[in-house]
């Protein structure tokens, strides 16, 4: 390895990765297809929201001054259900108009009373209370035309997509999805569906990693799994580097003779660092294979998942300037003791329940890095500094997964 950074802290590893960036490409995509995508430019509203003063209630519109001594009887002079119907109506002294939620306010009226607080006989309405001015939604009170509601880098959640439609956008400029190649390595790996021979296991990492790439809004491709031979590995890395923006491998990055991803990267690639002070997940490397960024992730299923969350996801977010998806953190009271390792940032998998006073964290499942169930049945990772330990009742920070 010579002078290459070795066994670095997580923060340093992230910093080293972030020195390598991709040039994001912008494409215009129909709004329908923008869920989980990253907005590429600031977005000013094309309209006022709401575009006109309208009623927040089904009820009656009238002059507030006429309603100050309830009960009040007013004469119903018309109905407004939709835009246009208000044009020929003006509410004058002693009059009211029947109005639906979202319909434009008629001239003259400055208050609304919801239908539940009224009764009608023929063309007279009786109001049991004063009219309410705050039941009028004012033009532009949510958003002014031209106002930037969403910034470049916004991760487009369902509510934010709805907001884009409200602002008048049928399509959006978004960051083109990164094409991510996922390559699992190991002679022992078989695809689910075939029968296992002695010594073989089902390949699972590529499925988990693929889901994580989609969660970030990008496009994973699970390439064929390669056995532990340098030539096969070289071939697949060469072809992946011409077609994909990013390569993720799993397996073969530890210290052993058969850890060929590390070996080939040392001999023929460009390693930027190898190993991090993180448990689980200490073996990874990052570097370039023929100018394409490559993360060599550990083979242990828990480790590959955790290293993606702690290292790959921050890098992808950084290189695409994305503000999400948000990694939610919370504080939880421990229901079990948790302990760190001596010299690594340690992540313990815990289940999280909502108690009366807030979250409660349980470390229930055995924490071996081969036990993927420990991630699948956990809602959080407790983050412990090297050497740190906590006891039942302590409040700890958890990363929600």
> At closest approach, how far in Å is the CB of 56 from ligand AMP?
55
Contact with Mg ion (CB under 5 A): which of 59, 186, 217, 298? 186
> What's the DSSP call for residue 262?
H
367 binds, among ligand AMP, Mg ion, none (CB under 5 to 8 A by kind): none
Backbone dihedral angles phi then psi of residue 291, each to the nearest 5 degrees: 75, -5
Stated as kind and residue range, the H or E segment containing 16 is helix 10-18
Considering only residues 201 to 220 of the shown chain, the ones binding ligand AMP according to CB under 6 A are: 201, 203-206
Q: Which is nearer to ligand AMP, 1 or 83 (CB)?
A: 1
**Residue 72's binding partner, choosing from ligand AMP, Mg ion, none, with beta-carbon cut-off 5 to 8 A by kind?**
none
**In angstroms, what is the minimal distance from the CB of 234 to Mg ion?**
16
Residue 219's binding partner among Mg ion, ligand AMP, none (Cβ under 5 to 8 angstroms by kind) is none
**207-214 contacts at long range (C-beta below 8 A, 24 or more positions apart):** 208/301, 208/304, 208/305, 208/308, 208/372, 209/182, 209/248, 209/250, 209/297, 209/304, 209/305, 209/308, 210/182, 212/305, 212/308, 212/309, 212/312, 212/313, 213/178, 213/180, 213/182, 213/248, 214/36
Cα separation, 228 vs 233, whole angstroms: 8
* Selected binder of ligand AMP within 80, 127, 156, 189 (CB under 6 A): 189
Residue 48 sits at the vertex; the CA angle it makes with 45 and 51, to the nearest 5 degrees, is 140
Q: How far is CA 241 from the centre of its chain?
A: 27
Only segment of 17-25, 114-122, 182-190, 346-354 that touches ligand AMP (CB under 6 A):
182-190
Structure tokens at 58: 């089904």
User: Helix 260-268 and helix 230-243: axis angle, to 10°?
Assistant: 70
CB of 280 to ligand AMP, least distance (A): 11
**Per CB under 6 A, 254 contacts ligand AMP:** yes
- Choose the one of Mg ion, ligand AMP, none that binds residue 392, judging by a C-beta under 5 to 8 angstroms depending on kind: none
When the beta carbons of 251 and 283 are compared against Mg ion, the nearer one is: 251
Q: How far is the CB of 149 from Mg ion (least distance, A)?
A: 49
Q: Does 250 bind ligand AMP (CB under 6 A)?
A: yes
Instruction: State whether residue 259 is helix, strand or coil.
Output: coil
Binding-site ranges for ligand AMP (CB under 6 A) = 184, 186, 188-189, 201, 203-206, 250-252, 254, 298-301, 370
């Amino acid at each position: 390895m010579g002078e290459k950074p070795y066994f670095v802290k997580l923060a340093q590893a992230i910093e080293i990765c972030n020195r390598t960036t991709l040039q994001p490409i912008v494409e215009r995509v129909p709004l329908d297809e923008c869920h989980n995508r990253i907005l590429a430019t600031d977005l000013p509203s094309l309209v006022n929201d709401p575009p006109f003063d309208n009623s927040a209630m089904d009820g009656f519109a009238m002059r507030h001054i006429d309603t100050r001594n309830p009960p009040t009887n007013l004469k119903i002079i018309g109905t407004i259900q939709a835009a246009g119907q208000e044009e020929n109506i003006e509410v004058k002294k002693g009059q009211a108009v029947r109005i639906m939620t979202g319909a434009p306010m008629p001239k003259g009226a400055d208050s609304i009373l919801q239908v539940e607080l009224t009764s009608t006989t023929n063309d007279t309405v009786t109001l049991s209370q004063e009219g309410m001015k705050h039941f009028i939604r004012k033009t532009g009170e949510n958003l002014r035309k031209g106002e930037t509601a969403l910034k470049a880098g916004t991760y487009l959640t369902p509510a934010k997509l709805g907001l884009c439609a409200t602002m008048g956008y049928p399509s959006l400029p978004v960051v083109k999805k990164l094409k991510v190649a996922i390559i699992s390595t190991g002679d022992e790996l078989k695809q689910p569906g075939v029968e296992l021979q002695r010594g073989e296991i089902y390949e699972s990492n590529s499925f988990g990693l693929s889901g994580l790439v989609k969660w970030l809004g990008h496009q994973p491709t699970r390439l064929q799994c390669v056995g532990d031979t340098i030539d096969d590995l070289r071939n697949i890395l060469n072809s992946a580097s011409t077609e994909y923006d990013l390569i993720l491998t799993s397996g073969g990055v530890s210290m052993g003779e058969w850890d060929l991803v590390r070996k080939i990267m040392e001999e023929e690639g460009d390693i930027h660092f190898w190993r991090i002070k993180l448990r689980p997940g200490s073996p990874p490397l990052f570097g370039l294979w023929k100018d394409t960024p490559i993360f060599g992730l550990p083979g242990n299923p828990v480790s590959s998942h955790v290293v993606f969350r702690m290292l790959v996801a921050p890098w992808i977010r950084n290189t695409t300037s994305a503000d999400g998806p948000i990694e939610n953190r919370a504080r939880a009271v421990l229901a079990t003791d948790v302990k760190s390792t001596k010299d690594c940032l340690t992540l313990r998998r815990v289940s999280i329940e909502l108690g009366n006073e807030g979250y409660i964290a349980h470390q229930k499942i055995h924490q071996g890095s081969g036990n993927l169930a420990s991630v699948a049945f956990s809602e959080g990772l407790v983050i412990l500094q090297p050497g740190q330990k906590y006891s039942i009742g302590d409040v700890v920070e958890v990363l929600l997964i």
